[in-house]
Structure 1
Amino acid sequence: MTARLRPLSALFLASLLCACASTPSNQLGELPRTPTASIEQLLEQAAAASGEEAGLLRLSAADQAYRQQDIGRASSILQQVPMDSLKPAQQVFASTLAAELALARQKPKTALKALQHPSLEQLSALPVDLQIRSQLARARALEGSGQILNAARERVFIAPLLSGEAASQNQEAIWKLVSSLPLEQLQPTGDADLSGWLELARLTKTSATPDQQLSAIEAWRSANPSHPAARELPTDLQKVLQLAGQPLTHIALLLPAEGQLAQVSQALRDGFMAGHFAAQQAGQNPPKIDFYDSSRLSSLDDFYRQAQSAGVQLVIGPLEKPLVKQLASRPQLPITTLALNYADAGQQGPAQLFQFGLAAEDEAREVARRAWDDGMRRAVALVPESEWGDRVLAAFQQSWQANGGTLIAASRVSQPVELAQQIGDLFQLRQSEARAKRLQNTLGVPVSAQPTRRQDVDFIFLAATPQQARQIKPTLAFQYAGDVPVYATSHLFSGSNGTQDNDLNGIRFCETPWLLNSSDALRQQVSSQWPQAGGSLGRLYAMGLDAYRLAPRLSQLKALPDTHVEGASGALSLAPDQRVQRQLPWAEYRDGQVQPLPASGI
C-alpha cells in the first residue's frame, strides 16, 4: 500500500525506502543518544559541558526521566534547555518530548501547541523512529482535544511506518476513533485508507443486528481486499463475527395498558412497533412480538413462567419503577430483560437485567462533556427547586468536577418573582452596586456607574421547562449577564418552534436526534400516523424505537463496552452496571429557530 504524503514529505519517503536516515544531516543537528548513564550522571556531564553538547545531555536526561514516568522532573530538566540554542532536529525532539509531558499531565491542547514549533516542518528529513514518535503524540493530542476525525487521519498516515505489535495497536486505536464518530462524519475523504475505515464504521453502525453486521463486514472485505482492516479485522469486529448466528426470534413487550403511565406506555409501544414494521418493510425477518399488560400483573414469577413456556427469548419492560426495583433486587432472572426504567442508583442488578430510560442525569452529564470540550472551565447552575432538580444538579456537578471543571455557585429556581434576585446573587451584582454606593458616599457626589457582574463565570448550566427558560434568558440580559453562554438540557425544547422562542436565542441545548432531525424518513412516517410523535412526546416514541433496535444488540454491547448504537434517542452505549447511556447531538436557538450544531472538536 502506498502512503499518502503531505507537503514537504519527499525526503521522508526517501529516508523510509533507503533506510539511510538513522542520523540527521549535520545541518539539522544530532539527536540525543540512548544513554547508559543515570539521570544524575547526565546532568553532571551537562553542567561541565557547554553549547550543543550540554543541550543534548539535558535532552537525554529529560527523556530518561519521562520514560521512568517522573513527569515533574522531566519537565523541570526540559525547561533548562534553551530551545533557540538547539539545532532543528533537537528542537523537534524537544517539542515532541514537551508534547508527551503535556499529555501525561492531561493537557492535550498544550501538547498540540508544542507540536506547532516551526522545526516540525522538517520532520520528514529525520529518522523514522522520531517521525513515528512525533506523529503518535500529535494523534493522542488531537484525540484528547476532541478532534477525533483528525486523530484518526494522523494514525492512518503513520500506519505504513509501523510493524508488529505497534502496527496492531495503531489499528485498534484507529478503529476506536472512527467507530466513536457520529454517522454524519462517516463520509468519504481524499484518503483511500481513511475512507475505508470510515465506511466500515458506517456499515457496522447502520446494521440492525449482528447477522446484518456480519454480512456487511464480509461484503466490505470483499470490496477492499488490500485495506489493512481487511487483512486483520479489529478485535471488536472479530467479536461481532463471533456473536453472529444467534438470531433473536421471540420478544415479550411488558407495558401497562392502564393507569397513570398508560399514555407513556402507548407512545413507547407505538415507537417500538414502528421499528418492527420498518424492519418488515426492509425485507428483514423481525422477531415475533407478544404483548403483556404489566398493570394487571399479579406476580413477576408467574409472568416469567408464562413467557418461558411461550418461548420468549427477551423481555422488554417493565416501565414501572417499583417493578424494575424488584427485578434489580433478584440474584438472577430466567429471561434476559431490558427494563424501560431504572432502579435506584447504586442498586446492582442481576446479569440478565439491562436498564434503559430517558434519564435527565444523562443529559446533565452530556452538558458537562460538551461544555468542557468547548473550552469552558467555570460554571454556575440554575435548576428547579425540586427532587428532580437536585438529581440533575448532582449529576452535572459530579461529571463536571470529574472532568476538572469548577462549579462556582448554584441556585434553585422556585418562584418567578425571585428570579431576578437569584440571578443577581449568582453574578454578585449586589456587591457591585454596594461598591458604587460606597464610592458615592466617599466622594460626596453622585456617581454614574453601571453594575458589573463577576467575570469568573464561563457558562451557565440550565435545567428548565420552556416557560421557565423564556423567563430566565431575558432576565440574564436585564441583570447584565446576557453575554454568558447558556448550556441546557432538552427540557426547554417543546418540540416545535414559535415566535415566543426568540426569548431563548443563544441557548445551546442537547436533544434527541428524533426531534432535531425532522427530515428523517421514519420520523415523518410515524408522525403522519401519530402527530404527537413530532412534539415533546416524540422522545418516548424515539425511546420505544431504540428499545427495538437495542434488542438484538444487548450481547454485543455487553461484550464490547466501546460499542455504540446510533439511536433515535441518542448514541447508545452500555455502562458497566448495564444501564444504557445516551450521548445526544446539540442545537442552538437563533432568531427563535432551532439550528443543529456540529459535534464538538470539529
Structure 2
Amino acid sequence: MIACLRLFSALCLAALLAACASSPSSSLGELPRTPDATIEQLLEQATSAKTPEHAALLRLSAADMAFQQNNPARSAQILAQVPLDSLKPAAQIFASTLTAELAMGRNQPKAALAALSHPSLQNLKELPPEQQIRTGTVHARAYEADGQTLAAARERVAMAPLLTGDAAASNHEAIWSLIAAVPGEQLQASGNPVLDGWITLAQAIKNAGTLEQQQAAIDTWRAQNPAHPAAVQLPTPLTRLKELASQPLNKIALLLPQQGPLASVAKALREGFMAAHYQAQQAGQKPPVIEVYDSSRVSSLDEFYKKAQADGVQLVIGPLEKPLVKQLSARPQLPITTLALNYSEGDQAPAQLFQFGLAAEDEAREVSRRARADGLHRAAAMVPKGEWGERVLKAFRQDWEANGGTLIGVEYVDQPVALAQQIADLFKLRQSEGRAKSLQSTVGADVAAQPSRRQDIEFIFLAVTPQQAQQIKPTLNFQYAGDVPVYATSHVFSASGDKNQYNDMNGIMFCETPWLLNTTDPLRNQVTAQWPQANGSLGRLYAMGVDAYRLAPRLGQLKALPDTRIDGLSGNLGMSPSQRIERQMPWAKFVSGQIERLPDTPR
C-alpha cells in the first residue's frame, strides 16, 4: 500500500512539473506552445476553442509562426485579433515581445519600447529562460536603436547569466561594444554591480592615452575585479589592444605621387607628415622608420606590396590617388594594413584598409551638428551645381534629417547674374511683391509696401568658394535676408588675410581646421617658418599630413574603442564603423574684416 502511495505521489509530481513547463504559475497563465500544425490549422482550431484563453493562445502561436516564417504582415494581422488586456500575464508578455519584434522589423524602436512597457513585464523573471532571453534581446535592440545605449547594456547584462555557448559569447561582446560607445562623461554608476564593473573598465581605458597606458589600465582593473565577467573573459577588442601594445610600429611606407597633377598636394602632405616625424624624434621618442615610395611610378599594387613586405613595412600610408584607393577597396584583403589618404565610393572595403581625407562631407555633417546644437530646426541650402555640390548636399541632408531637421529649400549656385533671382525665389520675395501689386490694383492707389521674406527659414547651409560667398552675402542683405544666419563649410575661407574679401562675408560662420585657426600651435609655427605657404589654404594639407602620422600607431586603438577621439590639426578625429576617419571641426566667424574664433560645438 505504501509503495502504491509513493508511486501515486511520484506521478502527481511529474504531472505538476509537466504543467509547469507550459504554465509558469497558475496566476501567470500559460505561454503559447510551439505547435506541430500550420498557421491555417491553428487559426481554425482557435475558432472552435472551448475558452477565449485557449483561442488567444492558439492565435498567438499562429502569429509567432508567421513571424518566424518571415511574414511580418501576416503576423501583425493575426496579432491584432488577440485582445491583449484579457490575457493572463505570461501571454501578455509573449504578445508584447512579438509586438516589439514586429516594430523593430519596421525600424520603429519607440513603438517597440512602448510595447515592452506593458505592466505584465514586471513578471518576466518568473517565466522560462527562453522567454526571458527573447524579451531581453528585443528590449536591448530597441534601446540601442533609440540611442539609449546604457539601457541596452543593462538589458544584456541582466540576461547574460541565462545564456550559454555562442549566444553567451556574442552577448558578452555586445555589452562591451555598447559600453565602449558611450562618451566618457556619460558613464555614471548605475547601482548594478556587474554593469558598474563594465563602466569602470571603460572609464579606465578612456582616461588612458597611449596603448601602453591603456594596457596598464586593463591589467589594474582585472586585478581589482577578478570575478567580473569581463575579467574572466576579456572582450575581443581589448585582447586586440593587448596584442597591439606588444607589437610596436617600426617601419612605415609613405606612398605618395611625386609627379603628375597631384604632386603639389602630395608635397604638402609629405612635408607635414615628416614634420610630425621629426618632432617626435626631437621629443626623445623612438618613431618608426619612414620609407618613401613614389605612387606615380607604381604600375602594380601587388608588386608594390611585395616590395614593401620585403622591406619590412608594417603600415602603408597612402595612396592619395582615388583610382588606386578604389582598387584597394575592391580587394577582399590587403597584405599590409593601409591608411589611404582619400576615400573610395561606398562602404565596402577590406578589414586592413582605413581611409582618411579632407572630406567635404565631414564638413557638411559638422554644419548640421553645429546648427542642431544652436537649437535650429529648419534649413535652406545653397551649393554649387555639379557632382561635388550634390555630394555635399546629400551628406548635409542625410545628417540633418536623420536628427529631426527639415530642409525647406535648395538653390544650386552657377551663374553670378542669377543669384539675386535665386535668393528671391528661396525666400519667396516675388510672392510678397505680387501681393503688394495686387493690393495696389484693388485700392486703386500706390501702396507703400516693403517686400517681406518667408519666416520659416532659420539658417542657410552654404558650401561655396570665397568668390561665390562674396556675392551671396551682400545679395542676401539686399534681398531682405541679411539677418538669416549662414553656416558654411571651410571652402568660404581663403586664409588670404584679404580684409576686403572678409568684409564682404561679414557674419558668415564657418568650420575650419585647427591648423588655420590655432596659430599658436608649436609644430604649426615650425612648419610655417620653413614653408610659409602653409599659412594659407595649403595649410589644410600640411595638417592632414601631420594627422596621418599621428594616426598611424593608433588605428587599431580607434577600431577597438569606437569612442576614442584624437585632437588633430585637421580636426577632432574619430573612426566610423566602415573604418573611415571622420573629422569634427572648430568654428569661426567673419567679423568686420577679421576672423573671430567661436566656442566649440558641444560634443
Pairwise TM-score range, normalised by the shorter structure: 0.5 to 0.7
2:473/2:505 contact within 8 Å kept: no
Query: Is the partner of 1:168 in helix, strand or coil?
Result: helix
1:252/1:314 contact within 8 Å kept: yes
**Residue 582 of structure 2 corresponds to residue 583 of structure 1:** yes
CA distance in 1 between partners of 2:197 and 2:120 (Å): 32
Which one-letter code corresponds to 1:43 in the other structure? Answer: L
Which one-letter code corresponds to 1:566 in the other structure? Answer: R
- More relative contact order in 1 or in 2 (CA 8 Å, sep 6+)? 1
Please list, as runs of the form range in 1=range in 2, the aligned pairs for 1:396-435 lying within 5 A after superposition: 410-414=410-414, 418-419=418-419, 421-423=421-423, 425-426=425-426
CA distance in 2 between partners of 1:61 and 1:463 (Å): 55
Aligned to 2:225: 224
Aligned to 1:55: 56
Please list, as runs of the form range in 1=range in 2, the aligned pairs for 1:186-335 lying within 5 A after superposition: 190-201=191-202, 214-242=215-243, 245-253=246-254, 265-266=267-268, 269-270=271-272, 273-274=275-276, 277=279, 281=283, 285-289=286-290, 313-317=314-318
Deviation larger for 301-310 or 198-207: 301-310
CA distance in 1 between partners of 2:478 and 2:54 (Å): 61
Are the structure 2 counterparts of residues 321 and 103 from structure 1 closer, same or farther at C-alpha, using a change threshold of 3 Å?
closer
CA distance in 2 between partners of 1:148 and 1:535 (Å): 42
Which one-letter code corresponds to 2:60 in the other structure? Answer: L
Which one-letter code corresponds to 2:100 in the other structure? Answer: A
**Residue 98 of structure 2 corresponds to residue 91 of structure 1:** no
Which one-letter code corresponds to 1:60 in the other structure? Answer: S
Which one-letter code corresponds to 1:64 in the other structure? Answer: M
Query: Is the partner of 2:580 in helix, strand or coil?
Result: strand
Are the structure 2 counterparts of residues 285 and 396 from structure 1 closer, same or farther at C-alpha, using a change threshold of 3 Å?
same
Q: How far 1:309 sits from its partner (Å)? A: 8.9
Are the structure 2 counterparts of residues 174 and 575 from structure 1 closer, same or farther at C-alpha, using a change threshold of 3 Å?
closer
Deviation larger for 240-249 or 74-83: 240-249
Which one-letter code corresponds to 2:80 in the other structure? Answer: Q
- Unaligned 5+ segments in structure 2 are 1-19
Are the structure 2 counterparts of residues 452 and 326 from structure 1 closer, same or farther at C-alpha, using a change threshold of 3 Å?
closer
Q: How far 1:81 sits from its partner (Å)? A: 2.4
Q: Deviations over 1:132-184 (max 9, x none)?
A: 43332221112112333332233234434434433222111112223334455
2:252/2:313 contact within 8 Å kept: yes
Aligned to 1:78: 79
CA distance in 1 between partners of 2:23 and 2:224 (Å): 41
Q: Deviations over 1:112-150 (max 9, x none)?
A: 232233444554565554444333222111211233333
2:251/2:289 contact within 8 Å kept: yes
Q: How far 1:101 sits from its partner (Å)? A: 0.5
Q: How far 1:73 sits from its partner (Å)? A: 0.9
Q: Deviations over 1:82-126 (max 9, x none)?
A: 334344444333222211111112222222232233444554565
Query: Is the partner of 2:252 in helix, strand or coil?
Result: strand
Aligned to 2:12: none
Aligned to 1:139: 140
1:252/1:307 contact within 8 Å kept: yes
Aligned to 1:165: 166
1:453/1:480 contact within 8 Å kept: no
Aligned to 1:383: 383
Deviation larger for 393-402 or 244-253: 393-402
1:206/1:566 contact within 8 Å kept: no
1:272/1:541 contact within 8 Å kept: no
> Number of residue pairs matched?
561
Are the structure 2 counterparts of residues 501 and 305 from structure 1 closer, same or farther at C-alpha, using a change threshold of 3 Å?
same
CA distance in 1 between partners of 2:75 and 2:91 (Å): 16
CA distance in 2 between partners of 1:371 and 1:564 (Å): 22
Aligned to 1:566: 565
Q: Deviations over 1:358-378 (max 9, x none)?
A: 122344577789999999999
1:586/1:598 contact within 8 Å kept: no
Bigger radius of gyration, 1 or 2? 2
1:96/1:134 contact within 8 Å kept: yes
1:327/1:349 contact within 8 Å kept: yes
Deviation larger for 561-570 or 68-77: 561-570
**Residue 177 of structure 2 corresponds to residue 176 of structure 1:** yes
1:172/1:235 contact within 8 Å kept: yes
Query: Is the partner of 2:117 in helix, strand or coil?
Result: coil
Q: How far 1:330 sits from its partner (Å)? A: 12
Aligned to 1:46: 46
Q: How far 1:209 sits from its partner (Å)? A: 7.1
Deviation larger for 394-403 or 191-200: 394-403
Please list, as runs of the form range in 1=range in 2, the aligned pairs for 1:429-444 lying within 5 A after superposition: none
Q: Deviations over 1:432-485 (max 9, x none)?
A: 887998899899999999989698x999765346886795699599789999x9
Please list, as runs of the form range in 1=range in 2, the aligned pairs for 1:487-566 lying within 5 A after superposition: 489=489, 491=491, 503=507, 526=523, 540=541, 542-553=543-554, 566=565
Q: How far 1:223 sits from its partner (Å)? A: 3.3
Which one-letter code corresponds to 1:193 in the other structure? Answer: V
Are the structure 2 counterparts of residues 440 and 549 from structure 1 closer, same or farther at C-alpha, using a change threshold of 3 Å?
same
Query: Is the partner of 1:583 in helix, strand or coil?
Result: strand
Percent identity reads 55
Query: Is the partner of 1:383 in helix, strand or coil?
Result: strand
CA distance in 1 between partners of 2:445 and 2:46 (Å): 66
Which one-letter code corresponds to 1:581 in the other structure? Answer: R
Are the structure 2 counterparts of residues 584 and 331 from structure 1 closer, same or farther at C-alpha, using a change threshold of 3 Å?
closer
Which one-letter code corresponds to 1:583 in the other structure? Answer: E
2:215/2:241 contact within 8 Å kept: yes
- Unaligned 5+ segments in structure 1 are 1-19
CA distance in 2 between partners of 1:32 and 1:338 (Å): 53
1:550/1:565 contact within 8 Å kept: no
1:474/1:482 contact within 8 Å kept: no
CA distance in 1 between partners of 2:433 and 2:97 (Å): 50
Query: Is the partner of 1:286 in helix, strand or coil?
Result: coil
**Residue 351 of structure 2 corresponds to residue 356 of structure 1:** no
Which one-letter code corresponds to 1:69 in the other structure? Answer: N
